A and B are shown apart, each in its own frame.
Chain A
Amino acid sequence: MPDQLFTDLYRDTENLTWAPTDQVRRRGRQRTRRTRMAAGLASIVAVAVVATGAVALAGGPDATPPFPPATGSPTPTPSSTPSRAADPTPSSSGSPTGRAPSSPSAGTDGPSASSVTIPAAAMLQLADLPKGFTSADTTPDGDWTFASVTIFCRNQSASLAVRQVADRDRVFESPTDSMIQRVTRHAGSGAASSMDRVREQVADCDPHRPDDSLSILAEGLGGDESLLVGSLIEGKPSRWLLVRQGDLVAQLRMDSATTPAEARGYARKVADRLCRGTDAC
């Protein structure tokens, strides 16, 4: 083998700028917090499922059967010899594409068990997207959500999962692009509070670097409320579309050049689909 070729390759990668170890730790802590939060939610949900099941059983043969327990965020089990089959790590939400959503908390103002599941029909469909997209049978991985960029703000960000009781993800891909949608259901007024927190995080962000920024690019694009959020981190723009319809909130990772006019088209489609998963419409 011409070892010189590989020597040159090594030489070309030896002066990269790496994140300091402290930054790696910080990101690790952030991921851990999110995973624990998701796992905690799953535990609450599992308790609620058991309770619902007990009530269902007590209610006799006509009672509604309980939902299956949520899967939560499985912890990967790496082997000492990694293999191709080893699952590195799930996304922070641990929500596989198309996973059956979780069931509600036992709060009196929460959604009923029969309405908590986020149906597939409430998600964007292929027909809503430009030609060339296909439905990807993958789990969204990496930090793609709006929350992921709030680490560039000095101030601590509050979780957007306000009284969140269920979630569902869907991933679409085209040869040149991808689109990820997450829909979450919130108990009580949690959905509206979650949207408020997005606004607060944008308004309150004190970026580490003076040229970084978060901004609300447009509102009122569709549904009960909606936001097109933009970020500019190290000169790279990103866009998210958030749409609330009743107790559901949809978040979409958009192309970084998405305009408010383009976002409006998507927001309406998203809002229409959400109506199939909530009684608010």
Chain B
Amino acid sequence: MESDEGFEEFYRTTRHRVVTVLYALGGDLAEAQDAAQEAYVRAWQRWERISGYGDPEAWVRTVGHRLLINRWRKIRNGFAAYRRHGPDPAVGPPSENTVALVTALRRLPDEQREAIVLHHLADLSVAEIAAQTGAPTGTVKARLARGRKSLATMLDTALPEEVTHA
């Protein structure tokens, strides 16, 4: 796979969103980055095909999520070296809000967490989440509603009821 026109820009412009979503889904930033890096490797291998998709980023995000689910995180990845290279001076500790949010997300059922993250971080509509997760739109709406309610309680904050991207 040597013809990878557009891959470099894709990798550069989407990785921040992808790793943030994976971080929110899995709760561990280092594991999220390892999974994201591996997902981009796999995307590069199939770039001719994937670049023709309407949303290549969704493919990478899904693959990265599957890698996390499959306990791939326990298996060494060659890219781990990059994030273990030592603390990047530009990267500080996570903010208090981030710690609280990630902790709260981890306490949600998987389906609710996935719906919340895809909607509020990946900016997917209810219909898009339904298509990606294979759940009916009504189920997705219910998961979002329950997830928001639980998050509101855990984070002690008021949350809007409506789904803005629906």
Contacts and interface: CB of A to CB of B under 8 A. Distances in A.
Interface of A: 1-6, 8-19, 21, 23-25, 27-29, 31-32, 76, 78, 80-89, 138, 140-144, 148-149, 151-152, 173, 177-178, 180, 233-236, 238, 253
Contacts of B133: 83-84
Contacts of A32: 1, 45
Say what secondary structure dominates the interface of chain B: helix
Interface of B: 1, 4, 7-8, 11-12, 15-16, 19-20, 23-24, 29, 33, 37-42, 44-46, 49-50, 53-55, 58-59, 61-63, 66-67, 70-72, 74-85, 88, 90-92, 94-95, 97-98, 100-102, 120-121, 131-134, 148, 155, 157, 159-160, 164
A193 B77 CA distance: 26
17 contacts: A1-B120, A8-B98, A9-B23, A13-B23, A19-B79, A21-B8, A27-B41, A78-B49, A81-B55, A82-B61, A87-B66, A88-B39, A89-B45, A89-B63, A142-B77, A148-B78, A233-B81
Instruction: Sort A-B residue pairs by CB-CB distance and give the 8 closest, nearest first.
Output: A82-B62, A142-B75, A88-B63, A15-B90, A28-B44, A8-B97, A234-B81, A144-B75
Contacts, number: 182
Contacts of B97: 4-5, 8-9
Nearest to A29: B1
Contacts of A142: 38, 67, 72, 75-77
Nearest to B94: A12
Given A6-B121, A28-B45, A78-B49, 5 more contacts: A9-B101, A10-B16, A16-B29, A81-B131, A86-B66
Given A1-B148, A234-B85, A80 B121 contact: no
A28 B85 CA distance: 21
Nearest to B101: A5
Contacts of A149: 76, 78
Nearest to A140: B75
A13 B91 CA distance: 8
Contacts of A80: 53-55
B71 A148 contact: no
Contacts of B155: 2, 5
A224 to B, nearest CB: 27
B50 A180 contact: no
Contact of A13 (B20, B50, B81, B85): B20
B109 to A, nearest CB: 15
Given A12-B98, A80-B53, A27 B78 contact: yes
A100 B7 CA distance: 37
A47 to B, nearest CB: 26
A24 B79 CA distance: 9
Nearest to A78: B59
Given A10-B20, A89-B42, A142-B77, A18 B67 contact: no
B75 A24 contact: no
